[in-house]
Structures are given as structure tokens and as C-alpha cells.
Amino acid sequence: MWVTAHIKRRGKKMKNDLLFIGLVFVFMLTVGIATVAADCGCDKQPEKIAVNNTEDTNNVEIFDNIERAITERDAKWTADETSVSKLSVEEKKRLCGVDIGFTPNGSAELSRSKFTYTGTFDWRDVNGQNWVTSVKNQGSCGSCWIFGATAAFETQINIDANDSALDFDASEQKILSCLSGGWGCGGGDPKSALKHIRDDGIPNEACMPYHANDDIPCSEACSDWESNAWSLKTIGIPGSHTTDSYKAILENNGPMVVVLSVGEDLFYYKGGIYEPTWTSKEFGWANHCVMLVGYDDNNECWIIKNSWGTGWGEDGYGRVSYGQLEQYTYAFWIEDTSGCTPPSVIDLEITDIWHEGSKVYYKVKNIGETTLESCNIALIIDGTYKMDDTIGPLEGGEEIEESYQYKWICTGRSDEITVYADYEDAVLESDETNNSRTETWSTLKAKRVNKP
């Protein structure tokens, strides 16, 4: 209404009035877009970073520019050739495919300020165990928004199950092929990947292997994918995006899904504490999704897990200076994972038997992956049960030496000595045929020395 009154008072011609209104509209639209971009923290560019204005910069020149920038800024990281450093600019851009959107419905906003933290923490070494699943490679697809989400999800499954060896291998291709809304290799929102896991569930890698191709139809998933799918109940968001808040969530809950704004120099990161130092005009800046694994107050840095294979960074991991993640006010954590119960992968094998003095000795190994809680080991001589022993716990890959208080005396020319693991068949094993070991002993058999 004020525009109409203004026109009448001025008595300008209609075409001038329309031009004025159009200019006002364009100005307001521009201000609005800028405000939204500022609010979501998208594509923030670090200050005082060297930018190369040359369009045609070869790999050697790029490396020289990065090393010079690292020296000038006294940065604490090393540049070198990596698994992604020789990619073209367009190929590099495709690896950074985060499109930041809105918080999904049902997210839980919690403050972790009441928790304490220790000063150094890494989910790869908690109570002497590595709870993080293996480093993956997203290939030539801009699917970091999926890999950052599944990395945190897989690790949270281990934590929730209190089993660092469970290591569920999620199918990233299932999300890439089945998530509606236009996401794909061109980039997407990590929150949408988490929401898809929460609402639909996700099967293992064997059900729908990753091909870095968003043209593969959703119907390519195995027919029984729902029967081995895992899901999550809660997508959490920090109550505040501060260094202390992130530390508390990491240590008291689990890994986080975070976004890092990167220049072209990240593709040359080989080790140390990364901070942006250089980018080319052609590449500019891009958002990249990673998993937050831990922190180190001694070096004032975060520890991240990337999805560019083990040939990048510190075997696929990196360290990033404090402030690089918090400034984008974009992070998520996961609670209450659930899914199918994995089949038992306990597998017992008697690896050796011998006697000395008044004892019969044996070695038993769990060649499976799951810890054996307990089981009986029977001694059988010439087909006759003599006694049994109880062992456990026995971790996957662990071998132990035990003995029976039994003095063997040959009753004839020779005896058949059998030691049988899980004689009562109480343990579900991946292979039930290799539980026993039989040897023929005679009075001529030399005594075995029990070696510690």
C-alpha cells in the first residue's frame, strides 16, 4: 500500500513505477538469500587464505603453491601426493557433495555440557579396543554425505552392542539408489541419509554392493534386505556448537557426523593438523562430510575419518584444528541403534595335545571372531570318555593352553587320545566339524616338553 501511495504522490509514469518496484524486489530477494546463507553456515570461506587466480594450474604448481602457503601460515600439516591429489578439478569437486538443508522432524536437541571429558579421546582406542569400522572409499561419486552418516552409524552399532568386533558393514548404495528427493552422486544432505536409516533401515553391503552410481535402481537390493537391516531411533543435534560440547558428546555418546569447508589443499593432506591454507580459483570452496572420531587437547585438534580410502591422510584419517568444524553449526550424533542379531562366528579348534608327568596338555583356539563365554573340553581315550575341563572366556583369534590332571599309561601297544572342544554341543559355531583332535600315542612316543 505504501508503494501505491508513493506513486500517486510523485505522479511518475507507470513504466518508471514498475521499474522501481522491480528494483526493490530484486534488492529484497538478494538480501534474503544472503541472510539464509549466513544462517545455515554454508560455504564459509576461511579468512586470509591464499587463492590462486590462474585458471590453468597443473599438479606440480598446485603442490608448490600449497607448500608455500603452509610455510607462510606456519601451518602444522604436510602436503604430498595422495590417492585423490591427481584428480582433475571437476573430479575433486564431485567428492565434496554436501547440500546443507533443514533439521529433520523428530531430531533430539540435547546439551551435553553436564558431562566431563578427559582431554584426549579416540574411539579407535577405548579400553584397548577399536570401535570404528574400516575406512571406505566413495569413488568418483559425490556421496560423502552418505559415507559420513554410515561411518558414524556403523560405529554406534558397535558401541550400543558393546561389541567392538561386530562391525556391521552398511550398504551405502542402498541409500544412494533408494533415497528420494533428487539426492545422488551430485551431492546431498547428511541429515537425509540419517533420516533414511531411521525410517527405512539399511541392509549390509553384501545385500547391495556399492558401485558409486546413482543410476542403479532401488530394486537391485536383495529380496530379503529388511530381514538383515539395521536402523536408529534418534538423530541428535548439539545444544550448542562449541568445542566443549562436541568433546562431551563424543566421549559420552559416540561419533558425530560433521561438515568441513575445504579448499583444494585438502586433497594433498598427508598428515599433521590440517587447517585450510590454499585453494585455486577454479576449485573455490566446497562442503565435505566426515565422521568425527575423537579429539586431542594436547595438539588442539579433532580426529576425523574420511571416505577417500587409506591412501589419503593418515591411513584414511585426519586431524583438524579446533574451530574448523564448530563454526558451521552443523553436526549430528546417533542413539539407539537396533537390528538383526548377527550369526555366531565362534569356531573352536584343538591345535595341539601332549602329555608330561601326571598331566595331559592341550591348546585350544577360537579361530572365529566372536568371544566364547565358556564351554567344556573333553578328554577321550580309545573312545572312552575320561573327564572334561571348562574354559572361557576366549576371544576371537585367542589361543590358550590348558591341562587335565590325568596320568596317561599306555594300556596296549598304543592308545588313541582325543581332545574334544564343546563336547556337549552347547555352543553355536560356524564350523562344527573341526572341534576335535586325535593322536595315536605309544610307549615309544617321546615325551613333549611343556613350553610356556
Position 342 scores a pLDDT of: 54
Quick one: cell of 268?
594433498
pLDDT of residue 220 exceeding 90: yes
Residue 396 maps to which CATH number? Answer: 2.60.40.10
Position 49 scores a pLDDT of: 52
Query: What total of structural domains would you count in the chain?
Result: 3
Q: Which domain holds residue 253?
A: 50-339
Query: Domain check: are 80 and 208 in the same one?
Result: yes
Position 234 scores a pLDDT of: 93
37 pLDDT tier (thresholds 50, 70, 90): very low
Considering the domain boundaries, does residue 240 fall inside one? yes
Query: Domain check: are 378 and 354 in the same one?
Result: yes
Considering the domain boundaries, does residue 64 fall inside one? yes
Considering the domain boundaries, does residue 40 fall inside one? no
Query: Domain check: are 279 and 367 in the same one?
Result: no
Position 355 scores a pLDDT of: 92
Between CA 399 and CA 365 the distance in angstroms is 4
Mean pLDDT of all residues in 300-326: 97
Considering the domain boundaries, does residue 321 fall inside one? yes
Degrees, nearest 5: CA angle 164-169-173: 155
Query: Domain check: are 324 and 421 in the same one?
Result: no
pLDDT of residue 5 exceeding 90: no
Considering the domain boundaries, does residue 189 fall inside one? yes
Of residues 332, 391, 398, the one with CA closest to residue 370: 398
Query: Domain check: are 421 and 279 in the same one?
Result: no
Considering the domain boundaries, does residue 37 fall inside one? no
Give long-range contacts, CB 8 A cutoff, 24+ apart: 309-314.
309/83, 309/84, 309/135, 309/136, 309/137, 310/83, 310/135, 311/82, 311/83, 311/84, 312/82, 312/83, 312/84, 312/267, 312/269, 313/82, 313/269, 313/270, 313/271, 314/270, 314/271
Position 97 scores a pLDDT of: 77
Position 330 scores a pLDDT of: 87
Centre a 10 Å sphere on the Cβ of residue 63 and count the other Cβ atoms it contains: 16
More confident residue, 433 or 33: 433
Residues known to be catalytic: 144, 288, 306
Q: What is the DSSP pairing of strand 286-296 with strand 301-305?
A: antiparallel
Of residues 218, 190, 83, 214, the one with CA closest to residue 141: 214
Query: Domain check: are 139 and 76 in the same one?
Result: yes
Mean pLDDT of all residues in 136-156: 96
pLDDT of residue 254 exceeding 90: yes
Residue pLDDT, tens place only, 320-379: 999 999 987 889 999 999 997 555 578 899 999 999 999 999 999 999 888 988 899 999
